[in-house]
Structure 1
């Protein structure tokens, strides 16, 4: 249970104070879903007296507020957050996880209850439909069947409809009407009219329609929640790369402290094999750093005193002493995670379109129903008949077809892509993918195979160097060892950070590494070569390449055939990037980019009104994947990249990218056709119901028929197969 909070001085007990009068307050904020929420909350708290800074993390829900002195009022901070419409409590990690999972569990349970109700209510409504085929039940049996249907459907509909009812009430309380308002009114009114008809021994009730509609709509609502949960999972995967403990140096003594307690200016020790805990600079020591998180490339970076270090990078060969330049929540990793969260929490364009339609639908349809009731009563009809005519107006115009217009198409298109090896993580992804006009491709792992491969080396020379290669963890040495296969390992090996490895092979001293380290003078070093040689003997040069995917040229041609422009953004050096761009015929390319550079490039393209599809596979691509209009990742990509991407494609080829765009464009056309049909249907059905030409039973059939037309149109692209 969450702690009971008191306003005023009691909250001061939960502020962690330092020796200089400052402090930190950590709150759990519930209800924040997007980048706009982050900006609104942080700006409001930053403006309070005594607040040095505020940082909200969507993944954990934690709002960390730095306080500068006695002017800061923790109770005022909490009240400010709650005044913005969010719930705030003291931060508890276990409570934060529980709060994130609660919505998903509620939607899953509601979906299960609605499915149970929709299936079981048919046991009683199908016999009632028998009258359509000349086997009509007698009046008492028909009434019994409706009462049994009411017993099953009513509690299921009221329970499963809670997410829609809450959303509708919140929207109306703010003076607006979203799509959940007509859905909620339609469900409640359908139940009310059904009870009225059952009590009055009428011929038709509609309990099955109410619960079935909720079941179909909850499918889409639950899938949307899973998309948001996937974005949070991607951010958690990224933050998990941050070392949980840092070795702080104080007067020469090392002590382990939680990384959250590291402050700017702290001296930290980083042994070989450990990840860099926070951003900082090297004070002493030399080593090789695996910066794949930042550059996405396998080439190691040699660092020494003064070099900049990024949180999450892997220290491989030497012990480093560094000075922290940022706290853990301000590190490079945390910044990338925030970009991923903010980019992924976007609403569906079709949902926004449906909400705009609802803003017009609600006042028009409900005013028409009210006028129908008053007019029918004034013309001499009794209150029951007038109510049934008004109910027919609401039932026949119930936004079932409008609510299913996009989800039905998205489900059908997702199934088609699944058969082609493409996993679609949300319907909104297809909407955005259909609009792209520019494709940004990462190099390593997307256009290339993603691992270095030895080029044209005789087997006997490979065998000579293999014992030293097996003793190193350098990516190029691993490629050399992989080519040689299993075998002996050199003895007395010593690896020099940033240079290479030295050891004894059958009693002879040998070296493997950079040209200068091996003793080759005036050689032009390259990032894709290794030198090997025995002491006092000839030196051997091994070259490596990251080979392009077999269908990369055809994939780029297919994208251009769809009218798209193509660009390469890579963290690799300019040489390899220029070569792959020339091989593919791509004119626009950029090299040496950090994750933030890639995000900035995406933002620049978006500012020019370009709709960008990003295809990447590395941790350094995760933020850009979340930032782009749409994003794809191969099945071999790291977990964070797959979670940040909208679509994941299997296999070794890139043909799935163009295929997915083609299917998405077809789905967009079907969705727009469904919206047009829904509008035309309502324009024709409403006047007929107002004129009394449509009774509630016919209205229910027409409503179901409109939904069926929408579903069949969604399935139409797959009929040819």
Structure 2
């Protein structure tokens, strides 16, 4: 018998019926070996909340030999690793026995299924909304004719309402009925069980009252309840599909082609997933590394900005290790694959993203906490009301009618709207300020922030070097002087053939011009050309032959020498974001601690931290180091906001309590964050201020919904509810929470 593990309160499991085809197709062909372990990727359908996630992971982890069982709630993807003779079919059957659909990842349609589910919910919601409007027209006629309308006319109008409501209940309500039946069939309950009970009971009593010519029928309430609940279900499905965009983007990056060298030295294009440790790889200029590799031939500049956050390319030579995600800039490199793609740095970042989505899925929202109290209270009250009236001598139909009235008048419309309406209004306000919200519960987590960790390049700084000055013979040159302009023009004629960030910055300052012919780019050194019998060089200080002490004392620089003439130094700076200092001071005034954790060089990070007055900083931090720092802060009970823009920030963005990404961030980082902001850092204090106000409004709305129930429940259980009273009460409760949420539009 299946173990009874209760579902988290307030969580609709949305379980899909499990067919024999799901569990008997055989999963052995999808098992792969990773080191000494076996692994399989499954797709689980129907898991909607932290309770579902915990139940599935615990059940699979309890199987003999299982070392890892991790379910991504947003995508439904589950990765299982184990040792020993455990059969993959048994793992799938364990998940199936819990009442969830399961398939091998390669056999699942993934995004197409999510799109179909979203479209189905949207159609069901539209049908329910259209029917609710028509039934309300008939109901208004009944209410308006109270005392004057004949019994036959009233019965006819009720019958017409029932004829409209029945197909709507069967079509639009199927999402709740299927989920409730799947849960009950497997020995546990979820939120859809009481919803289905309320819908069925209200419809059944209404049919009974119509047949016997009674005054009260609740077909309008049945369809309206279905409509409001489908709104929430549709929004939840859309957010889940959007939340998986980061994992999709990273997965697409890992499926790119790799050039593998055969034993005969022939270059063959293969999928990244087909590369094995020890394979020889050719990395051409402009190509991104898909696996971690050790270089054995070639020297080239490599852009590691997406991986480490380092703002300038680094020279790679034989013996050095190059991580997946880095881009080769200048010359071909040959290397040996150190790991399969699933064990590369890109894959580790992907696992961080999944772990972050899992943690956020387990976050108990205000609405979940409210529902966990509301549901047992209301349904216990309805049951006691029915029992009490039976003991007082009422007939069974009358007692059931009072129980149904209690469920209907306490319809969770106000409760269902309390959080979403506040979030929608607040999201609209932020959107007008250039902030795009990506996560439904982001406001609640943003409101709890007490510590912010910033990335450096592209977040606190503009991320693009700019020519700051020129130095010749130890003396600064004015950039607008004739001598400086002439040297800048000559240097730019070489720089125009290079893609190095400093060369691009030099060209941007010099403006349009011709590129000199015969320029050679020497990896790790710079550019060289022969001009009128002289050798011109633009590159590193060591290559030019400049004094090493002077070179070490300077920041990002290029050196330019024309033959034997003294070399000129071009100094660059990555400017701070406009308004950064003011924004950070505002955050400090709000009692928030600030910190920088960057993959850039220690010197650059220390200089920026001193400029902005930030005492805590860490440089040369890997993606794992950033995550480790967040975990340390979390262990100190801090609620950390991560702000970053690169691939190396994606794991930290996902695992932080809340996260933000600038509009110029890469797609993966934007998808991993809770919100994307445009403009400068001054948007961050506004976001946090609006989040705190939104949380306050949501709490007020739940208090108003609770107060409404305190008033409505006694009226219902004493038998004084009429359709008119129920409709007015439900409408007023919804209007009140909506008007309260509209206060978020008022600027502070």
Q: What TM-score results when the alignment is normalised by the length of structure 1? A: 0.89
Tell me whether 1:373 sits opposite 2:401 in the alignment: no
- TM-superposed CA distance for 1:686, in Å, is 1.9
Is the deviation greater in 488-497 or in 92-101? 92-101
Q: Who is 1:330 aligned against?
A: 343
> Does residue 166 of structure 2 align to residue 154 of structure 1?
yes
Aligned length: 715
How far off its partner does 1:174 sit? 6.8
Which of the numbers 549, 555, 572 marks the counterpart of 2:600? 572
Answer whether contact 1:395 1:700 (CA < 8 A) is retained: no
Superposed CA RMSD in Å reads 3.5
Task: Report the equivalent of 1:591.
Answer: 619
> Pairwise mapping of residues 324-473 of structure 1 onto structure 2 (< 5 A)?
324-346=337-359, 352-457=365-470, 458=479, 459-473=485-499
1:153-196 deviation per Cα after TM superposition (whole angstroms, max 9, x unaligned): 33234433333334445555677665444433333333233333
8 Å CA contact 1:391, 1:696 repeated in 2: no
Structure 1 residues 171 and 685, CA, compared in 2 at 3 Å: closer, same or farther?
farther
* C-alpha contact (below 8 Å) 1:281/1:307 kept by paired residues: yes
Match of 1:550 among 578, 583, 605: 578
**2:269 aligned residue:** 256
Pick from 674, 689, 692 the counterpart of residue 701 of structure 2. 674
- Could you tell me which of 288, 297, 314 is aligned with 2:310? 297
- Relative to 1, partners in 2 of residues 1:349 and 1:238: Cα closer, same or farther, differing over 3 Å? closer
* Structure 2 counterparts to residues 104-143 of structure 1, below 5 A: 104-131=118-145, 138-143=150-155
Query: Is it true that 1:474 corresponds to 2:486 in the alignment?
Result: no
1:250 & 1:240 partners in 2: Cα distance?
Answer: 25
Superposed, 1:684-695 pairs within 5 Å as 684-695=711-722
Q: Following the alignment from structure 1 to structure 2, what is the Cα–Cα distance between the partners of residues 60 and 174?
A: 23
Contact kept in structure 1, 2:74 and 2:357, CA below 8 Å: no
Aligned to 1:489: 515
Q: What do the CA deviations read for 1:589-648 (whole angstroms, capped 9, x no partner)? A: 111111211111111111111011111122221111111111111222211111111111
- In 1, the alpha carbon distance for the partners of 2:439 and 2:75 equals 22
SS state of the match for residue 337, structure 1?
helix
Secondary structure, aligned partner of 2:254: coil
Distance in 1 (alpha carbons) for counterparts of 2:145 and 2:468 = 79
Match of 1:703 among 711, 716, 730: 730
**Distance apart, 1:480 and its partner CA:** 0.9
Give the distance between the partners of 2:433 and 2:248, measured in 1 at CA: 30
Mapped partners of 2:387, 2:70: distance in 1: 56
Moved more, 91-100 or 549-558: 91-100
- Structure 2, unmatched stretches of 5+, are 1-18, 471-478, 480-484
1:66 positional shift: 7.6
Residue in 2 aligned with 1:318?
331
Residue 639 (structure 2) aligns with: 611
Name the CA shift for 1:450/1:307 in 2 (closer, same or farther; >3 Å).
same
Assess, with a 3 A threshold, how the Cα gap between structure 1 residues 460 and 180 changes in structure 2: closer, same or farther.
farther
Deviation per CA, 1:385-419: give whole Å up to 9, x if none.
33332222222222222222211211121122222
2-structure distance, mates of 1:49, 1:717: 53
The secondary structure found in structure 1 opposite 2:459 is helix
- Structure 2 residue aligned with 1:501: 527
Say if 2:726 is the partner of 1:712.
Answer: no
Corresponding residue number in structure 1 for 2:588 = 560
Aligned position for 2:8: none
**Which residue is equivalent to 1:510?**
536
2:493, 2:731 → 1: CA distance? Answer: 73
TM-score by length of 2: 0.86
Matches within 5 A, 1:16-27: 27=42
Distance 2:298 2:20 in 1: 47
* 489-498 vs 521-530, which moves further: 521-530
**2:257 maps to which of 234, 245, 251:** 245
| CA gap 1:377/1:242 in 2 versus in 1, 3 angstroms | closer
Per the alignment, do residues 212 and 63 of structure 1 end up closer, same or farther by CA in structure 2, a change over 3 Å counting? Answer: closer
Q: Residues 74-118 of structure 1, C-alpha deviation per residue, up to 9 Å, x if partnerless? A: 433443454565433344366334344343333333333333333
Greater mean alpha carbon deviation, residues 248-257 or residues 302-311: 248-257
Tell me, which stretches of 5 or more residues in structure 1 are unaligned?
Answer: none
Shift of 1:477: 0.4
Change (3 A) 1:472 1:222: same
1:59-70 mapped onto 2 (5 Å cutoff): none
Higher mean displacement: 430-439 or 516-525: 516-525
Give the Cα–Cα distance (whole angstroms) in 1 for the partners of residues 517 and 413 of structure 2: 74
Return the alpha-carbon distance in structure 2 between the equivalents of residues 35 and 182 of structure 1. Answer: 20
Residues 671 and 53 from structure 1, CA distance in 2 versus in 1: closer, same or farther, beyond 3 angstroms?
closer
Match of 2:649 in 1: 621
